[in-house]
Amino acid sequence: GKRARMADRAYRACGMCVISKRLGTCLVLSYLIIKVITILNAAMQIYLIQRFLGFYEGGSYSKASMQLGSARKDGEKEVIPYGEDDTSGFGFGLTVANYIRSGRDWPETLIFPRVAYCRVPGIRLVGGDNAYTAQCALPINMLNEKIYIFLWFWIVFVLCVCSASLILWISRLTLDPQRKNFIKRFLRARHIKNSKGEVMGIHDVDQFVDDYLRRDGVFLLRMMSINAGEVITAEIVQKLYKDWDCEHASPEESLLSPGNSLEKAKLGFDGEKHSPYQPQMV
């Protein structure tokens, strides 16, 4: 009745908000949740790298640090000193790129000092050791610093790719035209007809996608198309459509369908009139 129709509309409108096998959203929402977790994981790794390196006081709001090139003041090209560049927050990688592009050394991280004071043994004089304090370069820290900078850019790249992939899959799985056009493409390529021998209509495809495949089925077919190829996916879509069409067709229409020649031969249904009973000749 009216209540059932209203409930059906509510399920169709808000079905993506509930993980349910009956609504066909279990696999879809699980896949999207995993992508969201991946994005959060990448963002957290960027934050931890910045905190580990010592750049966590604030955000990189300095326009000079965000420019990929030499900074300018009053229209004149001028190199900004280290004190005026903000290297904190999530813009540390962009600041490093700016320093490299302008030919400067990027700011020293707090965890990997490049230069340290070390005790140098001196000449033994008058029964005692004379030690000297000198500045020593630490090349291993320079290497570690570059590794972390590479990881920062790599994680940012992964974060951008995962975010774009999440938006793409949300549009593929939530928008009805995207899902139905994907299935129509395979059905039209195979020239599939319904049990009446007619070319399938838009209403048939809509029922097949909404009531039979649902979002989980379309999601699995998309994954199959990406990993196994469109030829195999088209054959599976054809088989699924024939099974659905036979379930919704009357017995006579089911026997008349192109894929049931064997059943027609067994039952003697060939379109001609047969007497219900033929006595044997003695």
For residue 84 the two structure tokens come to 């005026």
Number of H helices, E strands in the chain: 11, 4
The secondary structure element, H or E, covering residue 133 is strand 128-137
Q: How many domains does the chain have?
A: 2
User: Which among 229, 258, 231, 230 is positioned nearest to 242, based on CA atoms?
Assistant: 258
Strands 76-77 and 72-73: antiparallel
Q: Do 156 and 177 belong together in one domain? A: no
Indicate whether 252 belongs to any domain.
Answer: yes
DSSP result, 95-129:
HHHHHHHTT-PPPPPSSS-SEEEEEEEEEEETTEE
Beta bridge partners of 132: 120
Domain containing 67: what range? 57-162
For residue 126 the two structure tokens come to 């008058």
Residue 280: CB atoms within 10 Å:
4
Place of tokens 């198309």: 225
d(CA 182, CA 198): 21
Most confidently modeled of 101-115, 157-171, 253-267? 157-171
Domain C-terminal end among 162, 192, 208 = 162
Place of tokens 């490093």: 96
Indicate whether 255 belongs to any domain.
Answer: yes
The pLDDT, as a whole number, for residue 143 is 87
CA 255 from chain center: how many Å? Answer: 44
pTM for the structure as a whole: 0.65
Domain C-terminal end among 108, 131, 162 = 162
Q: Which residue has the higher pLDDT, 29 or 105?
A: 29
Q: Do 31 and 169 belong together in one domain? A: yes
Convert the pLDDT of each residue in 221-269 to its tens digit. Answer: 999 989 998 889 888 888 888 888 777 665 544 444 544 444 444 434 4
Convert the pLDDT of each residue in 27-59 to its tens digit. Answer: 888 999 999 999 999 999 988 887 777 664 443
| CA max distance for the chain | 140
CA 201 from chain center: how many Å? Answer: 33
Q: Do 180 and 146 belong together in one domain? A: no
DSSP structure class, residue 281 = P
